[in-house]
Amino acid sequence: MTADPAPAQPDTLPRVSAASAADVVPSASRSRERALVRQMVVRRLLALDETGTLASVHVRIAAETAGVSVRTVWNWLAIARQSGRLEAAPSRGGFTVTDELWARLSAVGANVAALHRELTGQANSDPAREFAGPVPSLRTLHRAVRREQQAGRVLETARPGRGRVDPAVYDRALAELALPGTVGEAGQAAPPAAEPVLPDASDGSAAAAPPRAGVRLHVPGAHVVATHQLGEVTEAIAHTVATRGIACVYGDAGQGKTVAVHQALGLLPRRLPVRQAQVAVKPALPQLRAALLTAFGLPATALTNRTDAADRALIDAFRTPGVVLIDDVQRIAAPELDYLRLLADASTTQTSLVLCGAGAERTLARAPALASRVLTWQHVPRLEAAQIPTVLRLFHPLWHTTTDADLLHADETCARGNFRTWAKITSHAYAALDQRPGTGADGALLSRACSRLGPNP
């Protein structure tokens, strides 16, 4: 599934290379991410405030989710109460700190002067440097960094402090914040909605960003779109994690399950570690045990064939509140799935399990003991026909000039609501337009892109 509102589309689609997209997309998308996370947490805090149930623990969890200080979230809430504004004030222009510079500032221990010396030396010795444009003065750089920190941006070397909270109170507050807001932006009752949070780096262009899960597709400029399907996965996982339970996210291949799960886990508070166990096809029990040990950072090589020691280490690791994600769970046979049940059944277990995969529900049906312990079953369906035009235009700007009729015809005859198929079509259409700049994405281009997907797209 995919994401943020795309920028306004010019009259003709510009010729953009993959290299230039890599320079532009990550910084702009991360800025949108921070703004959207702020809107999300403030909207939900206001909803709790209206019902009279807002407490300081809610604000603390919101600060951990957004990666800012508690005081910053209280300031956001005060601004929203006074002016009704959920987002930051518009920028007045001037020098801004990009994501690349912010990462370099973290690498030098938040020393602005050291970063300035590094930029100045690089500008003098290497004209083709990573940081383009004139180097700002030290005073300007200090002012820009201070402005970012006042807006709530946090350096990796300075995470917000966390006080001690009663676990029961914390879990209840986490579950309350995970619920959808009771009112929408227009003051009317609102259905569940997810927030777009991360850029899609599936084309491999965002080298500085965390690796994205899913199929690699060359679609520069694509975004993750907050469909209602993604929103339902987010709420289901948040509730499951708050109750220390087990969730199963299932659906056909290419529906966006993995992306939705990673978006949902990315919105959890930072105090809850998320670990992913990479399992092989039909793993034997020692292989599954090794995958779990590796996910927790334990010495898998030394413990894999020492059954008692490995089991004790995993049971001890599951004492810590957090999440273990197992994608492609359909690869695991029933006897090995029962091992997961034993770990989940331990009286000291505080870790939630998120099981995801195409046909995961059928796989778990062959392990009834584990299936009976699954708290949440979340199906990820195909895109509905009514969603197609809006979602695709948010997914990539090249569809802005395509008519609804052409998009719906391509979906009916080729994509059939499968988002991965639409990502492939977008990749082929992008490549064709890059070869012939100035043309539009019309029905003929769609037919040509669809023809490259084979007889069974």
Contacts by 381-387 with C-beta closer than 8 Å and gap 24+?
381/229, 381/251, 381/255, 381/417, 382/252, 382/255, 382/416, 382/417, 382/418, 383/227, 383/229, 383/411, 383/417, 383/418, 383/419, 383/422, 384/417, 385/411, 385/412, 385/417, 387/227
Which pLDDT score is estimated for 6?
42
- State whether 77 and 113 are in the same domain: yes
Q: 354 - beta bridge partners?
A: 247, 325
In a domain, 300, yes or no: yes
Which pLDDT score is estimated for 23?
37
- State whether 29 and 120 are in the same domain: yes
The amino acid at 135: V
Contacts by 84-93 with C-beta closer than 8 Å and gap 24+?
86/38, 86/39, 86/42, 86/43, 87/35, 87/38, 87/39, 88/35, 88/38, 88/151
Residue 227 structure tokens: 């469909």
Which of 32-36, 86-90, 154-158, 410-414 is predicted most confidently? Answer: 410-414
- Could you give the maximum distance between any two Cα atoms of the chain, in Å? 67
Q: Is the dihedral of CA 438, 444, 445, 446 positive or negative?
A: positive
Top pLDDT among 14 and 360 is at 360
- State whether 24 and 172 are in the same domain: yes
Helix 388-395 vs helix 419-435: angle between axes, to the nearest 10 degrees?
50
Instruction: Give the residue from 144, 178, 212 where a domain finishes.
Output: 178
Alpha helix stretches (DSSP H) within 197-277: 228-242, 257-266
How large is the average pLDDT for residues 277-290? 89
Kindly give the pairing relationship between strand 376-379 and strand 274-276. unpaired
Edge to edge, the sheet with strand 351-357 lists: 274-276, 322-326, 351-357, 246-250, 376-379
Interior CA angle at 360 toward 358 and 361, to 5°? 125
In a domain, 13, yes or no: no
Mapped onto helix, strand or coil, the DSSP state of residue 324 is strand
Host domain of residue 241 = 228-379
Which pLDDT score is estimated for 103?
80
pLDDT in tens, 214-261: 555 667 777 777 788 888 888 889 889 988 999 999 998 888 888 889
pLDDT in tens, 368-378: 999 999 999 99
- State whether 159 and 63 are in the same domain: yes
- State whether 123 and 170 are in the same domain: yes
How large is the average pLDDT for residues 304-326? 86
Which pLDDT score is estimated for 158?
43
| 320 CB-contact burial (10 Å; exposed 0-12 / middle 13-18 / buried 19+) | middle
Instruction: Give the residue from 178, 213, 238 where a domain finishes.
Output: 178
What is the percent of the chain where pLDDT is above 70? 72
Least confident of 114-123, 185-194, 331-340, 359-368: 185-194
In a domain, 345, yes or no: yes
Q: 254 - beta bridge partners?
A: none
Is the predicted pLDDT of residue 127 greater than 50, yes or no? yes
pLDDT in tens, 84-106: 777 766 555 567 788 788 888 87
- State whether 266 and 347 are in the same domain: yes
Cβ neighbors of 394 (< 8 A, separation 6 or more) are: 2, 3, 4, 5, 6, 223, 225
**For the chain, what is the mean pLDDT?**
75
List the one residue out of 399, 453, 404 whose CA is nearest residue 425.
Answer: 453
User: Hunting for tokens 């197609």 — which residue is that?
Assistant: 388
Calculate the dihedral angle through the C-alpha atoms of 162, 163, 167, 170, rounding to the nearest 10 degrees: -70
- State whether 401 and 375 are in the same domain: no
How large is the average pLDDT for residues 55-67? 84
Instruction: Give the residue from 354, 379, 404 where a domain finishes.
Output: 379
- State whether 239 and 360 are in the same domain: yes
Which of 196-200, 256-260, 340-344 is predicted most confidently? Answer: 340-344
In a domain, 193, yes or no: no
Given pLDDT bands bounded at 50, 70 and 90, which one contains residue 327?
very high
The amino acid at 359: G
The pTM of this model reads 0.55
Mapped onto helix, strand or coil, the DSSP state of residue 264 is helix
In a domain, 209, yes or no: no
- State whether 370 and 402 are in the same domain: no
In a domain, 184, yes or no: no
Helix 419-435 vs helix 443-451: angle between axes, to the nearest 10 degrees?
110
Query: Can you say how many angstroms the Cα of residue 232 is from the centroid of all Cα atoms in its chain?
Result: 14
d(CA 93, CA 147) in angstroms, rounded, equals 12
Which pLDDT score is estimated for 277?
92
- State whether 273 and 332 are in the same domain: yes
- State whether 97 and 121 are in the same domain: yes
Is the predicted pLDDT of residue 32 greater than 70, yes or no? no
How large is the average pLDDT for residues 200-225? 50
CATH of the domain at 235: 3.40.50.300
Residue 408 structure tokens: 């719906």
- State whether 163 and 29 are in the same domain: yes
Is the predicted pLDDT of residue 211 greater than 80, yes or no? no
List the one residue out of 231, 229, 234, 240 whose CA is nearest residue 265.
Answer: 234
User: Hunting for tokens 């034997």 — which residue is that?
Assistant: 284
Q: How many domains does the chain have?
A: 3
Given pLDDT bands bounded at 50, 70 and 90, which one contains residue 177?
low
Least confident of 3-7, 251-255, 316-320: 3-7
d(CA 2, CA 418) in angstroms, rounded, equals 12
